[in-house]
Structure 1
Amino acid sequence: MTETAEAEHLADPALTRPDLMGPRLVEATGDARWNDLEAVLIAGGKSNLTFALRSGAGELVLRRPPTGDLLPSAHDMRREVTVQQALADTLVPVPRVVLADLDGDLLGVPSYVMTKAEGVVVRDTLPAGWAENADERRRASVALVETLATLHSVDAGGVGLGSFGRPEGFLARQVARWTRQWEASRTSVVAEVDELARGLAAREPRRPGVGVVHGDFRLDNCVMAASDPGRVVAVLDWEMATLGDPLTDLAMLLFYWREPGEEPTFVPAVTDLGGFMGRSEVAEHYASLSGTDLEDLDLYLAFAHFKFAVIAQGIAARVAGGAMAGQDFGDLRGEVLRCARAGLHHLRKGM
């Protein structure tokens, strides 16, 4: 069971340039077998594109932005490389960066290559033989929460991330940033999104925290040990990472966390299967590990729903523009509206 076990197909050479990438990997690794490589798109990426690079030397993973026009500050390869290199010697599990081409000499856009994390990435179904019983599913839940709490406990200054972001006023700036993203990617008027944006802009958390935040922490952005559901092998997809308010990460994890009987969305989830922790347990366990006060959690949950509404709109816009390497995620207009309405519910609940 590996992270590339799902549907895949050979990548367009123009997106990965094996003729240029191969020699650079030979230089980086000292292994001439990288001169003869093939690139395979790993299906499922809805933002940056992820490819498996394979040769007689083994397998590495390439990350690059999608094609087409990019929204400001999105798809930041330098950010991903910076945080993964900084966390390499901490207790937060991350892949090792093998090659970083942040000037875009190879592909015409910034990109990097990292080691492949051996394990499983759990999306919409449980891999055969993995977390088959309630005890193992609970252990997987605990491992995710503990990994998130470990990330938030990292001494940012001690690992060179002291200037990685501006934590003061973080949530307000995030609301402003995602409102700009909404304006840049919207294709129609959605009154609920506009109302949610205005409501969030008028609120501030009472006790904001400070820490290294992932920005999109969830089960399918982690590689889990194939033989041990209670161990996270690696945390992936660091394009939104920064120094900010840790409760934004917890709220996004809870946003993605489904419970039994809930209506499925286009975001893959298995936590609605019996045995996984419920949302309240996730939040309580995180609070017990981190010592965080959760009195403003509904405000952060409202922001999580707003953020994902904008993300869904951005994905729809990129698919329509042909910038997602042939991937299609269906009509996302209903998802945008659902997220906005749920966000308004949390915003009013937290008042």
Structure 2
Amino acid sequence: MSDDLFPVPTITAFLDEHGIGTGPVRASRVGEGHSNLTYWVERDDVTVVLRRGPRPPLPKSTHDMVRETRIQRTLAAHGVPVPQILAVEEDEARIGVPFYVSVWLDGVVITDEVPAHLDDEAGRRTTVEAAVDALVALHAVDVTAPDVAGLGRPEGYLGRQVERFRGLWSVNSQREVAGIHELGDWLAEHLPATQRHAVVHGDFRIGNLMYAADAPARVRAILDWEMATLGDPLADVGYLLATYATPDSVSTPMELTPVTRQPGYPGTDDIAKRYAAATGLDLGDLRWYEVLALWKACIFLEAMHTRWLAGERPGDAFAPTLTDGVPLLAEVALARTRA
């Protein structure tokens, strides 16, 4: 393939400059890429992954591949399972946006199919348990270590999140969606106290984990670090639970791994109990964090929808679904505030 998103001659020259393989470049998209785009790239003697932002123009302070690279390199030094970064291009002039290249890992990402080696009672249970344990380990990283401390400012994280996203709605949207402002008010009025600080992934869900290609279930890598920072670890727990599909949950645009609706997968209560037992944190305010996750999703998905309306996401099959999908997410979030 070769197009404006993946110009093969330019990518080939970059790989040659960094000594990453020889021979012609063959590439294909990995995943649906609703935000940043990931490509499988093969040459005669190497297979790698290239990750880049979407087609410009980009919203300010989003899709920062250089920052994402720095976060992964920092966390790798602290034992967090992330793909090894091989090279990064900071100059957006090369292909229109910065990008990076990492090693290709042999594993599986679970979305709408259950991997055969995990398709039994033990495999389904341990798939989710391994995800929770990976999150616990991430949140155990020492945020006072000098290199980690430079990744963000954890004090006041929750308040800043609420205020920042309240301001983004008018920037991201050209319409009114029932409940968006009410949700922002509710979150501000019920702001919980942060119990401790941690590395927050920001998009932690089953579909952003790569599992080993054989049993038992174990996480080989945590993917997609675009929104990572330092803050309240329960933000990740709330996000995981709010986007986790169960037999009785409403299907929303954030349900990206629907297989967990099937029999044998743990429920959200099981996930919360396992995390609480491992960390000792009080999850009494967990509903607030779930609402935060759904409300933020409304706002960043609305940005995709608006860009699609403006013709900036041509060929995007996901963005049109957000015409109804964002209002549905807001409705689900409002229902949780009233539960």
- Give the alignment's TM-score, normalised by structure 1: 0.90
1:297 to 264, 280, 286: 286
Is the CA contact 2:295–2:329 (under 8 Å) kept in the aligned structure 1?
Answer: yes
Is the CA contact 1:100–1:111 (under 8 Å) kept in the aligned structure 2?
Answer: yes
Residue matched to 1:158: 145
Residue matched to 1:206: 193
Residue matched to 1:74: 62
Q: Which amino acid aligns with 1:21?
A: I
Tell me, in whole angstroms, the C-alpha distance in 1 between the residues paired with 2:231 and 2:184: 19
Tell me, in whole angstroms, the C-alpha distance in 1 between the residues paired with 2:162 and 2:44: 47
Gaps of 5+ in 1: 1-9
Give aligned pairs, total: 336
1:174 is aligned to 2:161: yes
Is the CA contact 2:21–2:44 (under 8 Å) kept in the aligned structure 1?
Answer: no
Tell me, in whole angstroms, the C-alpha distance in 2 between the residues paired with 1:193 and 1:291: 33
1:122 to 104, 110, 122: 110
Residue matched to 2:18: 28
- Percent identical among aligned pairs is 36
Q: What secondary structure sits across from 2:88 in the alignment?
A: strand
Cα 1:217–1:241, aligned 2, differ >3 Å: closer, same or farther? same
Aligned residue runs from structure 1 range 198-347, under 5 A = 198-266=185-253, 267-268=255-256, 269-324=258-313, 326-329=315-318, 330-347=320-337
Tell me, in whole angstroms, the C-alpha distance in 2 between the residues paired with 1:306 and 1:253: 14
Q: Which amino acid aligns with 2:72?
A: Q
Tell me, in whole angstroms, the C-alpha distance in 1 between the residues paired with 2:56 and 2:96: 12
Residue matched to 1:7: none
Q: Which amino acid aligns with 2:227?
A: M
1:184 to 160, 171, 176: 171
The structural deviation recorded for 1:105 is: 4.2
The structural deviation recorded for 1:233 is: 1.0
Q: What secondary structure sits across from 1:154 in the alignment?
A: coil
The structural deviation recorded for 1:231 is: 0.5
Deviations 1:180-218 (A, max 9, x none): 332212121113111111221223212342111110001
Cα 1:229–1:335, aligned 2, differ >3 Å: closer, same or farther? farther
Tell me, in whole angstroms, the C-alpha distance in 1 between the residues paired with 2:248 and 2:337: 23
Tell me, in whole angstroms, the C-alpha distance in 1 between the residues paired with 2:19 and 2:302: 39
Deviations 1:78-113 (A, max 9, x none): 221011101223332100111111232421311111
Tell me, in whole angstroms, the C-alpha distance in 2 between the residues paired with 1:284 and 1:305: 21
The structural deviation recorded for 1:32 is: 3.1
- Give the alignment's TM-score, normalised by structure 2: 0.93
Tell me, in whole angstroms, the C-alpha distance in 1 between the residues paired with 2:183 and 2:171: 17
Is the CA contact 1:210–1:244 (under 8 Å) kept in the aligned structure 2?
Answer: yes
Residue matched to 1:97: 85
Residue matched to 2:29: 41
Deviating more after overlay: 271-280 vs 23-32: 23-32
Q: Which amino acid aligns with 1:51?
A: Y
Deviations 1:35-68 (A, max 9, x none): x213322241110111122211222111111113
Residue matched to 1:134: 121
Tell me, in whole angstroms, the C-alpha distance in 1 between the residues paired with 2:215 and 2:166: 41
The structural deviation recorded for 1:155 is: 1.2
Q: What secondary structure sits across from 2:282 in the alignment?
A: coil
Q: Which amino acid aligns with 2:171?
A: A
Is the CA contact 2:302–2:322 (under 8 Å) kept in the aligned structure 1?
Answer: yes
2:132 to 145, 165, 177: 145
The structural deviation recorded for 1:125 is: 2.1
Gaps of 5+ in 2: none
Deviating more after overlay: 306-315 vs 155-164: 155-164
1:83 is aligned to 2:59: no
Cα 1:56–1:249, aligned 2, differ >3 Å: closer, same or farther? same
Tell me, in whole angstroms, the C-alpha distance in 2 between the residues paired with 1:229 and 1:334: 39
Say what the alpha-carbon RMSD is for the aligned residues: 1.9
Is the CA contact 2:21–2:43 (under 8 Å) kept in the aligned structure 1?
Answer: no
1:15 is aligned to 2:14: no
Q: What secondary structure sits across from 2:92 in the alignment?
A: coil
Is the CA contact 2:20–2:46 (under 8 Å) kept in the aligned structure 1?
Answer: no
Deviating more after overlay: 69-78 vs 218-227: 69-78
The structural deviation recorded for 1:339 is: 1.8
Cα 1:275–1:159, aligned 2, differ >3 Å: closer, same or farther? farther
The structural deviation recorded for 1:238 is: 0.4
Is the CA contact 1:17–1:106 (under 8 Å) kept in the aligned structure 2?
Answer: no
Deviations 1:14-35 (A, max 9, x none): 22232222232223236333xx
